[in-house]
Every structure is written in structure tokens, then in C-alpha cells.
Structure 1
Amino acid sequence: MGTTTRIAWCDSTFNPWLGCIRVSPACDHCYAAALSWRTGRRDHHGLDLWDPLARRVRTSPDYWRAPLRWNRDALAAGRRHRVFCASMADVFDNRAPSAWRADLWQLIRATPAVDWFCLTKRPQNIAGMLPADWGGGWANVWLGTTTENQIEARRRIPHLVAIPAAVRFLSVEPMLEAIDLSPWLGALDWLIVGGESGVGNRSRPMHPDWVRDLRDQVRAAGGAFLLKQVGSNRALWPGVKHRKGENPIEWPPDLQIQDFPRRSGPSMRAHPPGSAKVAGELFTR
């Protein structure tokens, strides 16, 4: 749950609450569920946080103040801070109390120098859970969904591309098969690809040619491509030694790509006046 991270596409992680349930094949070897189990995290009734009956657990007020610090530091440095929001949860989980999500939107309002990457496996819930003034999207919120196979691509992407956003992205991790994204690429800005990790050689393998095909698809459409890792099952990746396949130097030269999309809108656009005051009241009480 820590705020620092080695994830290649963000600077920090932030979890407004903890807990989730499995919804698709991407969840079969969920790192968050495994971490929760190893560390003994439980809900208020003693249930493991990934138990289907468990309730979500909100993180502490002190923890919620960290993004305010990141925002101040980003403004001072003149460099935006990238945050993966809900690495141990899902922002659009309908089991999370709506009041907590409203608090999260207030925090996001108060941190215009932070780019919030909201990645979900529940894009069908996005439209009903956005703030009332979402309009054409907030400049510091990037919306994404996980698409590990063709079935989930067909099921999830239409919900994502129906929502206006500063940046729309896909996380194809774990990539479980070749995927055709051509019906939606015109509405997507960024593609993150990764092989499965965390269970050693039991990790489901990702073929290099699947990755090359996605790279070619997204580049032909003018989008950005980032290969995060090749995964722990490295049988198809000779020369890769890193346990998760995270070292780009070990990859084939044509796949050593970690690009980011160009931002749309002003680089440090603020949200409506007074949002910082609201957040100050909310996160210091």
C-alpha cells in the first residue's frame, strides 16, 4: 500500500481504500490479493480484504494527505507527479461507499499538478460515479481499463471510450493472448502492456509477437506505447533474467519502448476556486 513504487509508468501509488474481488481472468494471480493475505490485512469483521463478503477499509487521514504534499512538490519542481490511484482497490467498485469516492474527487480537485491514473476493471460503472462537473473530463485524471484478452477488450473498452477524458488508456496486463484493438484505437491515447508476474514459472506466458502486434496497432493509430514488463515466465524471452522481466535492457531492442502520451489541456490547470479550501477542511479534520 506504500506511496512509493517501482511501477514504470507512475511515481507513486495511492489507495483511498483497500479491498476488491476477482472479476475476470486477469485477477487469477492478483498481486494485491496476495500482498493483502501475506500482510494479514482484514476488514472490520476479520475477513480477508479479497473475500467476497469483505467490506472495504478506508485508509488513514494521514495517508490521504500525501497527495497534497506531492502537489506542492510538483508545483515547486515544475514537473507533474504521476499517481496510480487504487493499486489495492478499484475506484469504480460499487462496493466502496460513495461518500469515500466523493472525498477522493475532492482530493483530486485540490491537486491539479498531480496526474491521477484511474485504472479499473469495472468501466461500466464509470459514468455513474463521476463528479457532477466532470464535463469533458478533468485535465489531471486519466481513465483506463484492463484488457487481458479479446473478450474483455470487447466487453470493457466500449464503456471507457464513451467517457470524455484528458487521456484514455488500456492496461493489457497480464497479456494472455493476441488482441485486436483496431475498433477502438482512434479513441485511445496510451497502451500499457505487461506479462504476468508474481507466481514464477506458473505465470501465464506472454509471446513477444503479441506485444509487437499491439505496438504496431497503437503506433499506426498515433497512440503511445509502453512495455512495462515481460513477466515472470520468461521461456519465450531468451536473455531476460529479471524475475519479473522489468529490465528494458534485457528485452529485444525493438521492444525497449516506454512512451507516454502527450497531455491535452493546460499543464497545471486548476479546478474550480475553493477546491483547495474544501480539501484542506476535509483532510485535516
Structure 2
Amino acid sequence: MADKTKIEWADATVNYVNGCSVLSPGCKHCYAMKQAHRFPVRQGLTEKTAGGMVWTGEVRENPKALDQVLRWQKPRAIFWNAHGDLFHESVPGQWIDQQFAVMALTPQHRHMVLTKRSERMREYFSGYLVERIDCEIDAIIAEHVDPLHRRSDDLRAIAPDLDETWPLPNVWLGVSVEDQRRADERIPDLLATPAAIRFISAEPLLGPVDLLNYFDPTGACCGGEPEYRCDVCPSDAPWRYSEPSSDGQWAFDPQINWVIAGGESGPNARPMHPDWTRSLRDQCASAGVAFTFKQWGEWLPWEPGCPPEWESQNGRREDHHALLPVDIDADPKWDDGLWAIPEFEHFAFQRVGKKAAGRLLDGIQHDAVPTP
């Protein structure tokens, strides 16, 4: 756990659940998987293969992480389990209950939970959650007599009545979607899961993703009528439209509140085409959904500007005769970007590293966060 983090949209990271397994293309170059063997709490959770270190599928809890969160009194935006997945198939249900109990007991924090196992998350929320979490709250209070330098009855006083306060207003739930297939698999589960805020992490973004079926303000998804559902909307998802206004029009109530997009970093990172990210930015703008652009990652995109100049996404301009290598295909620091044509604009990609590539999208830094 870290009380500070370089993640732009969080103040701290807490790794209560450690360990995972490769599930989809976005996992291929997982930084947590490659670095796990360096940390005592995660040693033995990966194994060396011809392709590098790979998760074994074993998971491990770190109870000290829960204790730390209970002791933090200053409000923080906490990203949970960056080195694991709370809803991994090997995680016991009681671990999930315990984390939710701690989140319930710390209303001063914003808790953000991200998963690739959307189906298990949806199933978890369909059970008898309130009773189980209440039991864990009682156990925490009994075991941690003075976790916040106060009496246990004071801690009980801040515990919410889960029958009245559900879903927890300070818990945000999200799913990772690296491409359209994963979006269509996971977002319906997210929509069917009760949450104060729902978000999508499109990182690493490996292809174009169309979200308009999930939050189109024109009503293209559900025909603009609350009585009608398209095939995309899960049958048990909340209504997508609120009551009609005075002019008789149905007001759109987006069920996805936040989209985070970013490219891949690390030695084997794959380039992210700017048009994929621009599309997400524009979709969010049209639907009134908060948009955060986290990073370009390892590869900096360059596009033709006023001849003979090329312009980069971090604001540089260069004469392309001096910029581009004579044999771009043979240069490991360049990708010609021809794989994106003709569907997308032509960009060339230069390997410069995450810091140098920056996080400006068409000259603008996007850091919007939803208001609960």
C-alpha cells in the first residue's frame, strides 16, 4: 500500500488482494505481474516463463492494508488492489466482505474498485450482502478496539445502516475494457451492479471502443423510452431514463459516470492510436460523462502538419526529413503506423517513454472526475 501514488486519479493505493491470472489481451504486459517478485508480500505469486514473469493464479490477502485504511483520518481517493483483482475467482467471498466492511467504516474516503471479472462482481452483489457485511463490521470493531484512536462505540457510531445506505455512496465500481469485445462483455455486468458511481478504465486501450450503446444521450440505445430495452441493456439494470420533464421529454440519466483512457507503458508496450482516444473523449462530451486521459504510454504519436513539418501529441514540431529514420521499419524506436490505415488517420509512433510522451490529447489535459 502507498499513501501516495503516481496514478493521476487517486491519492493512495491499497493492495489488500495480491495476485491474479492472465484473462484478456490487456493483461499481456501487466506491470504488476512483471514486478510482483520484487515485493515480499507478492513473492511466489508469479513464475518465470519464456515470456517473462506470469501470474500463477494464486492470490494472497494482506490484512495490514485494511488496518491502514481504518487509521487514515484524512480523506483520500483510494484505488484498491492495483496488484490483484478483488473479484478474481480464487478470492474467497469473505475477503470481499471484509474490504466492503472497511469501506463502509471509512466514509471520509472515496474507494475505487476496478475489475476485469465483471460477471463475478455482478453475482456478488446479487447475494445477501447487507447481512454479511454487517457481520464483518461487527468483527472489525471487536478486533480493532481503537483503530482510529477512539473508542469502539465511536467507530460503531459512524458505521452506516446498510439497509438505508446501499449502495455505499463512497464506493465507485469500474471495469477494465481494452477493446470493443471486452467492453461488450463487461459493461452490461457493470450496469447491472448497484454503485454510487460506475466507471470504465480503457487502459491499455488496444483498439477503438464505441460506448454510445451504453450512454447515448439521444436515446439511440433504448429508443428514448424507459419501457423499452435494447439487447445491450441487461434486464436487471437500473432504468436509463428519469421521469419526463415539463416539456414531455425523457431526461437522460447516464449510468456510466466516468471514463479513463490511456496507452500502454513498459518495454513491450503497444502503440495507442489517437483516434481511439479522441473518439472516447468526444463520446463522453456528447453524453456529459467525465473523461480522464491518463497517458500516451511508451509511444508518442506524430502526425503530418504543414509540410514538411510533423506534429507530435506532446507539442513538438519537427521537419520530417530530420525526424523520421531512413529505414523506419528497422528502427526499434519507431512504428510506421501503417497498420491503422485506412480506418484511421496516419500517425507514426516514436518510442520515447511515458514521461516524455506526456498526457496531452490534442494539446489539452483531461482530468475530469464525476461529482457523486
Whether these two folds match at TM > 0.5 is yes
Partners of 2:54 and 2:282 in 1: CA distance: 40
Partners of 2:182 and 2:271 in 1: CA distance: 18
State whether structure 2 residue 273 is matched by structure 1 residue 207.
yes
CA-to-aligned-CA distance 1:145-188 (integer Å, 9 cap, x gap): 01100110111111001112110000000011111111112320
Partner of 2:153: none
Partners of 1:103 and 1:91 in 2: CA distance: 11
Answer with 165-174 or 92-101: which moved more: 92-101
> Do 2:20 and 2:88's aligned partners in 1 also have CA atoms closer than 8 Å?
yes
CA-to-aligned-CA distance 1:10-65 (integer Å, 9 cap, x gap): 0001111210001000000001101103446656xx4527856542111143x322
C-alpha change, 1:98 and 1:51, in structure 2 (3 Å) is: farther
State whether structure 2 residue 358 is matched by structure 1 residue 244.
no
Partner of 2:365: 256
Partners of 1:164 and 1:84 in 2: CA distance: 19
CA RMSD of aligned residues (A): 2.3
Where does 1:10-89 land on structure 2 (aligned, <5 Å)?
Answer: 10-39=10-39, 46=44, 48=46, 53-61=56-64, 63-70=65-72, 72-74=73-75, 81-89=76-84
How does the TM-score come out when normalised to structure 2?
0.62
Partner of 2:319: none
Runs of at least 5 residues in structure 2 that lack an aligned partner in the other structure: 48-52, 131-161, 216-253, 304-311, 317-351
Partners of 1:67 and 1:2 in 2: CA distance: 11
Where does 1:81-230 land on structure 2 (aligned, <5 Å)?
Answer: 81-130=76-125, 132-133=129-130, 136-185=166-215, 186-199=254-267, 202-230=268-296
C-alpha change, 1:160 and 1:51, in structure 2 (3 Å) is: same
> Do 1:17 and 1:89's aligned partners in 2 also have CA atoms closer than 8 Å?
yes
CA-to-aligned-CA distance 1:233-266 (integer Å, 9 cap, x gap): 2244826497315744x5532x411100111xxx
Partners of 1:145 and 1:100 in 2: CA distance: 19
Aligned residue type for 1:259: A
Secondary structure of residue in 2 paired with 1:234: strand
Partners of 1:163 and 1:239 in 2: CA distance: 37
| CA-CA distance at 1:69 after TM superposition | 2.8
C-alpha change, 1:193 and 1:116, in structure 2 (3 Å) is: same
Partners of 2:302 and 2:184 in 1: CA distance: 27
Partners of 2:120 and 2:86 in 1: CA distance: 10
Runs of at least 5 residues in structure 1 that lack an aligned partner in the other structure: 75-80, 264-285
> Do 1:207 and 1:236's aligned partners in 2 also have CA atoms closer than 8 Å?
no
> Do 2:18 and 2:61's aligned partners in 1 also have CA atoms closer than 8 Å?
yes
> Do 1:208 and 1:236's aligned partners in 2 also have CA atoms closer than 8 Å?
no
Partners of 2:203 and 2:368 in 1: CA distance: 16
Answer with 233-242 or 186-195: which moved more: 233-242
Aligned residue type for 1:107: V
Partners of 1:41 and 1:195 in 2: CA distance: 28
Aligned residue type for 2:275: D
How does the TM-score come out when normalised to structure 1?
0.80
Partners of 2:206 and 2:37 in 1: CA distance: 25
> Do 2:261 and 2:292's aligned partners in 1 also have CA atoms closer than 8 Å?
yes
Query: Identity over the aligned pairs, expressed in percent?
Result: 35
C-alpha change, 1:176 and 1:56, in structure 2 (3 Å) is: same
Partner of 1:233: 299
Aligned residue type for 1:208: P
Partners of 2:42 and 2:7 in 1: CA distance: 25
Partners of 1:194 and 1:187 in 2: CA distance: 21
CA-to-aligned-CA distance 1:186-235 (integer Å, 9 cap, x gap): 32000000000122xx3111111211111110111111000011111224
C-alpha change, 1:52 and 1:174, in structure 2 (3 Å) is: closer
Q: Which has the higher contact order (CA 8 A, sep 6+)?
A: 1
